Structure 1
Amino acid sequence: LVKWCDAVLATSSTIVNDTYTGIKTLADANNKRLIIFGVTGAGIAALLGLERLCFQPH
């Protein structure tokens, strides 16, 4: 699946539920951009220098 994607969106939960490393490995192996999606990953994404996407809720 990853090889056909333009980019990989991973939820913030993947950082704490121990699935992020596997997803990152797949994204890197397929030369895909990996973006953390959601507000809960804001702090850790900033600390680790990860790309993050979050739409501002209204």
Structure 2
Amino acid sequence: GVPDDAALVLSILFGFSAIVFTLPAALLWILNRSQAGKVSLDEIERTIKTSSTLGTRLHE
């Protein structure tokens, strides 16, 4: 097969390329996750009003 040195270099290059190609997506995921918990009070009130009006319409 393949010489040991060549197989090792290929394996290391494959690992580094996997890190390089997935790093941007991982950073976007982390940044998006940190902003996911930031909900304004207006959004919460709007959601409550919408869900309460839907509930009263269903009971009519």
Structure with more strand by fraction: 1
TM-score normalised by the chain length of structure 2: 0.25
Structure with more helix by fraction: 2
TM-score normalised by the chain length of structure 1: 0.26
Q: Which has the larger radius of gyration?
A: 2
